[in-house]
Chain A
Amino acid sequence: MAELANRPFPPGDYPVVVVGSGPGGIQASYYLRHLGIKHAVISADPLPGGMFRRFPFFQRLLSWTKPYGPVPRDDPFYYWYDWNSMLAEEPQNRALMPDLMDGTSSFPSRPEMERNLATFVERTGLQIRFDTAWEGTSRDGERFVLHTADGDYRCHVAIFAVGVAQPFTPDTPGFDFASHYVDTRPAESYAGKRLFIVGKENSGFELATGLLQWAQRIVLASPRPAKLSINSHSLAGIRARYVLPVEDEILGGGVFFLNASIARIERMGNAYRIHCIKSDTSTEVAVDADEVIAATGFTCPLVDLQELGVEVFGRSQLPAMTNYWESATAPGIYFAGTIGQGVSGMKKYGFPANSGAVQGARYNARTMVQHVAQTHFGVGPSRSRVLPDSLVDLLLTEATRAPELWNQKSYLARAFSLDASEGILDNGIVPLAQFVDEEGPAGVAIAVETDDTGDIHPAVYIRETGKPAIETLLTSHSMHDFRTADNRIHLSEILRGATAGAVR
């Protein structure tokens, strides 16, 4: 029986309950505590780390941390070069990742990432009640009730940071002969085997890359061809580090791609026969294999939240959310971590933000918690006043240096209100889509954006009271320092008009 000290947050009433102990839950809890909001954190896992306790199996993470970046590690801008550390207000708790990396790569290994998150929890003294799985949900008046084997947790606001790692396998007959990606064993156990991997997304390619030298033959099958991120000029699609199987296939090294759907899988003695229907010709083809692995994706393990009114969409069954990552159909239920990718933002030129990855999700968690604190508990942000003469410089410096704006281009912005009576107030980091659409008080926001030519430049959004915002693009700079004379002049002009000359 664990000591009481190891089991914080006994069942009961809390203003907020956070479910999950991966990057999303950890970051949300940190900021709830920072803002003084009492909350419980429960997790089904025995230790912190979330998905990084198990995945990826092979290869390193897809997010980098540069131990020797262009700025020192205690500089706030260092977060732009360190996509894996958790955000912290205290310098000693920032940039924990680089010290934990062995220096052989700028992409941490899975154990290094797991250790990064565990170290953060340790150093900041965050409390988490482990081995407490969330099993069901109901309502009690204005509150939510989260059911666990240890008892019920009642709260006004629930934040689910439960990841998108629930294995999804199609209904197709014979799929029970397949093991899912999540059950992948050590690489050596696949030595000499003929493998059939269902799925041509990152998880399927990760396995194919990791098992290239072990398997006798690897077939990757799915109805559509693989999309490569180098072709889409973004992080969407198969990442470059998983492209070896593509080269192998081209050169006839033992990897085969099949654009086909699976009709059924049958057992043939110790092996399996997979019956496929080719996408282009609709003809049947049968392939034999020693093992079938379903890299058929994941869904969001929302337990019974749909019954509470949380609507979901898409292949991953993500919740439909507002700009602040609150359920669009069940107010009071929020989401943190990779689930936040369900909020698309502006997606200019089709580029998604990094909300599904740690480097984006951590800022989303902070902004979401600030919104929860203000909206549900009246804990407002302290909005400092800005002198009119310094606004132009402040905006351009933010665009040049703020890691939030760089990691979440066209998605997060730094905003200021321009109310004539109150003066210029700093509203901090806001979701860009919220600022441009909410028709709120007069204000200005700046974001960093890319276009289809790859040009990176600031974008300024000015809002008059009660109207939607207007966009103005500023110009880029070869070394990404946007504090150019041209930008200063242009921005001054815009702001002069918006503040009736108060800003020059």
Chain B
Amino acid sequence: MAMNQQELVDTLSGLALFADLSRPQVEAVAHKMTEESHPTGHRILRQGFTGTGFYVIVDGEVAVRIDGSEIARLGKGDFFGEMSILLGEPPNADIVTTRQLRVLHLGGPELEGFLRDYPPVMLRMLKAMAMRLRNANRWRS
């Protein structure tokens, strides 16, 4: 689906991760990150590989796989790669496209600076992580 810059900014504004940003801030994010397209069956994140980037899904779907078994699916608005980058360790799962995918990409080394520049995005990410940990540790809320 063809999409010009304004439509991209509109789409990003609707994603939870960027929900607390002003429009000029969303435009800045759209400018800072790079749009990429990946066909079906592409690995975007590779288990054990160095140099991971940070990705936000604009359109499409991916499967999260560990040693070949699928454990989750991610779609529009979801993000991934940040754990590897922040931990400084390679990913522990593969992320494979299940259909044509459009993502925004940010190079790993730029993530921390990006989060510091956009505290609302960092807070959203923090909240998402708290929820993930909560799901792993049932009652320790």
Instruction: Note whether A and B contact each other (Cβ less than 8 A).
Output: yes
Interface residues of A (CB under 8 A from B): 223-224, 279-280, 282, 306, 311-315, 317-318, 320-323, 328-329, 342, 344, 346-352, 410, 433, 436-437, 449, 451-452, 468, 470-471, 473
Asked if B2 contacts A351 (CB within 8 A), the reply is no
* Cβ contacts B104-127/A at 8 Å (1 or 0 each): 011111100000000000000000
Asked if B37 contacts A349 (CB within 8 A), the reply is no
What's the nearest-Cβ distance from chain A to residue B136, in Å? 26
Interface residues of B in 10-40 (CB under 8 A from A): 24, 27-28, 31, 34-40
A residues within 8 A CB of B47? Answer: 468
- A433 to B48: give the CA distance in the assembly, Å: 15
Partner of A436, one of B37, B43, B52, B109: B43
Partner of A314, one of B35, B39, B42, B107: B35
What's the nearest-Cβ distance from chain B to residue A241, in Å? 22
* Cβ contacts B34-69/A at 8 Å (1 or 0 each): 111111111100111111110000000000000000
Partner of A349, one of B24, B39, B100, B107: B107
Question: Can you name 20 extra interface pairs (CB under 8 A) apart from A315-B5, A410-B51?
Answer: A223-B27, A314-B37, A315-B35, A321-B39, A323-B42, A328-B40, A344-B37, A344-B38, A347-B36, A347-B105, A348-B49, A348-B50, A348-B51, A349-B53, A349-B108, A350-B108, A436-B49, A437-B41, A468-B46, A470-B48
A residues within 8 A CB of B38? Answer: 320, 344
Partner of A280, one of B24, B48, B100, B106: B24
Given contacts A282-B24, A317-B2, contact A433 B94 (CB under 8 A): no
Which of B5, B41, B50, B100 is the most central at the interface, judged by chain A CB atoms within 10 Å of its CB?
A: B50
Asked if B109 contacts A312 (CB within 8 A), the reply is no
B residues within 8 A CB of A306? Answer: 2
A residues within 8 A CB of B37? Answer: 311, 313-314, 318, 320-321, 328, 342, 344
What's the nearest-Cβ distance from chain A to residue B29, in Å? 10
Which of A329, A437, A473 is the most central at the interface, judged by chain B CB atoms within 10 Å of its CB?
A: A437
A residues within 8 A CB of B40? Answer: 328
- A349 to B88: give the CA distance in the assembly, Å: 12
- A410 to B37: give the CA distance in the assembly, Å: 18
Closest 6 CB pairs of A and B: A350-B107, A348-B51, A328-B39, A320-B37, A313-B37, A452-B109
Asked if A313 contacts B3 (CB within 8 A), the reply is yes
What's the nearest-Cβ distance from chain A to residue B99, in Å? 10
What's the nearest-Cβ distance from chain B to residue A345, in Å? 10
- A91 to B139: give the CA distance in the assembly, Å: 72
Given contacts A223-B27, A282-B24, contact A346 B48 (CB under 8 A): no
B residues within 8 A CB of A313? Answer: 2-3, 35-37, 102
* CB<8 Å pairs between A and B, sample of 13: A313-B2, A315-B35, A320-B38, A321-B39, A323-B42, A328-B40, A329-B39, A342-B37, A344-B37, A347-B36, A347-B107, A350-B110, A452-B109
Asked if B94 contacts A451 (CB within 8 A), the reply is no
